[in-house]
């Protein structure tokens, strides 16, 4: 299941959020060796101070943190506009109907806890569940598109699981890897594709609301 | 079925966004808010802005359709200290449905009880705005819709008011003397607008440019936002006037 935590209300979920920051250090600093700042074993950057929205994937049985992702509005400070302008020479997309996703991470504890085949399965499931969560939360808030910066490794994963995207701007080699900016469509079709790949046909967010929007103003 | 562009068939939303953009005096804000009530059948609209000015010590900016009686009562009771919409709303990313507030707190219960007595409506949503430079705003709307109608209405309100809230915020920033940055478009945004100016649909533009239709819609959405335009036609006109379309990418 996916739990939504508003950055502004993170103290209500302080244990989980702290665990997420430690997981991010393990993923981005230790595993991927990205150029991130780790303090006290936690990877926290300036965008965490911008009241983002966090989606946390929690194990249905144990409640353990399996993965996390962060969402920011493109109208305010965001990574594509402020950290990776090199990827979008003409300027980053901006609109209240476009959000940015960043710090997509699957808990490496999954690799250690089980056999290789099973670990791959858990990683795939968590990835798809997080992506389904992004689509669902965007649909709830009326958001139509998500932009994101990702590397060649993630691009391959997105392609494998049917998470279609279109590259925007100009990909660039940053550090050791090719880095892309992409647009993702937060449509029902996207949710259905992901749902079929990951066998997640029912909503992954804890609560659901109706999706259809009638036009009652003239009624 | 292809999605239609959201604003092209919506003259009232277009009118509102155009009015917000043209508003030149603070004194015109109340009339504009009243027009919002009329068009959307709402009980109240309130705008609360913060960080609008670079000068320190500036208090929050408030523009509301509430009655003076309610505003006086709200101040006298110091409801701002307990109002969950104000306390947390501006820092959130997701719109808040007032139904989700924890009413076990007796102060919160009293606030909403008395708000209803003052004719504010039983339902409410607050939409946060994240501005370019850390400025924030919260636009709250209230309604007296029945439970059944509200389930549909709230999503529809959320959709339109994401746009309206941001345009309201930008209008107020401008009225407060903030210099607005001149719009610039990315090459793709310009290209998409150029084809729309040629009368092509998003779908046709997608074929021409070898992009998916949703990507074209995203570029157009971003272009509309950057130009402060209410729909594609409006965006083409504004980009044309600002000579943003003349450079062929």
pLDDT of residue B140: 94
pLDDT of residue A210: 37
pLDDT of residue B1: 29
Architecture field, domain B187-241: Orthogonal Bundle (1.10)
- Is residue B249 over pLDDT 80? no
pLDDT of residue B247: 56
Residues 84-123 of A with CB under 8 A from B: 88-98
Q: Which among A4, A90, A93 is the nearest to B187, CB-wise?
A: A90
- Is residue A213 over pLDDT 90? no
A140 vs B: CB within 8 A = yes
Per-residue confidence band for B17, with pLDDT thresholds at 50, 70 and 90:
confident
Per-residue confidence band for A141, with pLDDT thresholds at 50, 70 and 90:
confident
- Is residue B57 over pLDDT 80? no
CATH code for the domain defined by A2-202: 3.40.630.30
Per-residue pLDDT reduced to its tens digit, B205-230: 999 999 999 999 999 999 998 988 87
Q: Where are the domains of chain B?
A: 11-175, 187-241
The answer to whether the Cα torsion of A26, A81, A71, B103 is positive or negative is positive
Q: What value does the mean pLDDT take over residues A12-39? A: 94
Per-residue pLDDT reduced to its tens digit, A26-56: 999 999 888 899 999 999 999 999 999 999 9
Contacts of A166 in chain B (CB under 8 A): 211-212, 214-215
Percent residues over pLDDT 70 in chain B: 93
Under a CB-based contact definition with an 8 Å cutoff, are residues B192 and B219 in contact? yes
Please report the ipTM that was assigned to this predicted complex.
0.83
Between B78 and A186, the more confident residue is A186
Distance from CA of B156 to the nearest CA of A (A): 6
- Is residue A9 over pLDDT 90? no
Between A209 and A189, the more confident residue is A189
pTM score of the predicted model: 0.88
Per-residue confidence band for A93, with pLDDT thresholds at 50, 70 and 90:
very high
- Is residue B114 over pLDDT 70? yes
Q: How many CB pairs under 8 A join A and B?
A: 140
Task: Assign 3-class secondary structure to chain B.
Answer: CCCCCCCCCCHHHHHHHHHHHHCCCHHHHHHHHHHHHHHHCCCEEEEEEECCCCCCCCCCEEEECCCHHHHHHHHHCCHHHCCHHHHHHCCCCCCEEHHHCCCCCHHHHHHHHHHHHCCCCCEEEEEEEECCCCCEEEEEEEECCCHHHHHHHHHHHHHHHHHHHHHHHHHHHHHCCCCCCCCCCCHHHHHHHHHHHCCCCHHHHHHHHCCCHHHHHHHHHHHHHHHCCCCHHHHHHHHHHCCCCCCCC
Contacts of A148 in chain B (CB under 8 A): none
pLDDT of residue B8: 53
pLDDT of residue B56: 65
pLDDT of residue A113: 66
Per-residue confidence band for B248, with pLDDT thresholds at 50, 70 and 90:
low
Which residues, including other chains, have CB under 8 Å from residue B64's CB and lie 6 or more apart? B33, B44, B45, B46, B47, B71
Between A120 and B98, the more confident residue is B98
- Is residue A212 over pLDDT 50? no
Per-residue confidence band for A218, with pLDDT thresholds at 50, 70 and 90:
very low
Percent residues over pLDDT 90 in chain B: 38
CATH code for the domain defined by B11-175: 3.30.450.80
Q: What value does the mean pLDDT take over residues B143-169? A: 88
pLDDT of residue A214: 43
pLDDT of residue A124: 85
pLDDT of residue B5: 46
- For residues A50 and A199, what is the distance between their CA atoms, to the nearest angstrom? 34
Helix axes B232-241, B213-227, angle to 10 degrees: 50
Q: What value does the mean pLDDT take over residues A175-201? A: 93
Per-residue pLDDT reduced to its tens digit, B165-218: 999 999 999 898 877 777 789 999 999 999 999 999 999 999 999 999 999 999
A11 vs B: CB within 8 A = no
The dihedral region occupied by B243, where left means phi > 0, alpha psi between -120 and 50, and beta the remainder, is left
DSSP A6-43: EGGGGGGGHHHHHHHHHHHIIIIIIIS--S--EETTEE
Does this chain's domain B11-175 share its CATH topology with B187-241? no
Q: What value does the mean pLDDT take over residues A79-96? A: 94
Per-residue pLDDT reduced to its tens digit, B227-243: 888 788 889 988 888 88
A42 vs B: CB within 8 A = no
Residue A8 to residue B91, Cβ atoms within 8 A: yes
């Amino acid at each position: 299941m996916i739990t939504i935590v508003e950055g502004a209300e993170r103290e209500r979920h302080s244990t989980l959020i702290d665990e997420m920051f430690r997981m991010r250090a393990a993923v981005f600093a230790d595993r991927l060796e990205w150029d991130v700042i780790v303090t006290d074993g936690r990877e926290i950057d300036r965008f965490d101070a911008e009241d983002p929205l966090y989606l946390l994937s929690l194990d249905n049985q144990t409640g353990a943190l399996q993965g996390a992702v962060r969402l920011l509005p493109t109208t305010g400070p965001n990574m594509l506009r402020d950290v990776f302008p090199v990827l979008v020479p003409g300027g980053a997309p901006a609109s209240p109907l476009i959000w940015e996703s960043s710090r997509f991470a699957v808990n490496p504890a999954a690799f250690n806890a089980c056999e290789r085949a099973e670990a791959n399965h858990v990683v795939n499931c968590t990835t798809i569940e997080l992506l389904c969560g992004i689509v669902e939360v965007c649909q709830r808030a009326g958001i139509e598109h998500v932009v994101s910066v990702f590397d060649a490794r993630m691009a391959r994963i997105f392609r494998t699981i049917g998470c279609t995207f279109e590259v925007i701007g100009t990909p660039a080699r940053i550090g050791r890897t090719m880095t892309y900016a992409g647009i993702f469509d937060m449509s029902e079709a996207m949710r259905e594709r992901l749902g079929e790949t990951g066998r997640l046909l029912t909503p992954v967010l804890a609560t659901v609301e109706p999706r259809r929007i009638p036009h009652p103003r003239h009624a | 079925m292809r999605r239609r562009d959201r604003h092209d068939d919506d003259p009232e939303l277009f009118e509102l966004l155009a009015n917000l953009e043209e508003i030149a005096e603070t004194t015109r804000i109340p009339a504009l808010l009243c027009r919002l009530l009329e068009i959307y059948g709402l009980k109240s609209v309130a705008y609360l802005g913060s960080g609008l000015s670079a000068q320190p010590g500036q208090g929050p900016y408030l523009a509301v359709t509430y009655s003076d009686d309610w505003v006086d009562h709200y101040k006298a009771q110091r409801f701002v200290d307990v109002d969950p919409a104000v306390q947390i709303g501006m820092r959130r990313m997701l719109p808040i449905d007032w139904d989700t507030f924890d009413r076990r707190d007796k102060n919160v219960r009293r606030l909403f009880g008395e708000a209803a007595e003052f004719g504010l409506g039983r339902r409410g949503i607050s939409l946060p705005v994240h501005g370019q430079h850390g400025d924030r705003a919260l636009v709250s709307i209230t309604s007296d819709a029945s439970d059944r109608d509200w389930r549909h209405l709230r999503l529809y309100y959320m959709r339109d008011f994401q746009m309206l809230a941001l345009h309201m915020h930008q209008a107020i920033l401008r009225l407060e003397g903030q210099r607005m940055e001149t719009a610039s478009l990315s090459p793709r945004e310009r290209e998409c607008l150029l084809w729309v100016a040629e009368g092509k649909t998003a779908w046709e533009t997608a074929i021409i440019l070898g992009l998916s239709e949703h990507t074209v819609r995203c570029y157009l959405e971003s272009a509309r936002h950057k130009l402060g335009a209410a729909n594609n036609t409006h965006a083409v006109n504004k980009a044309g006037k600002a000579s943003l379309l003349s450079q062929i990418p």
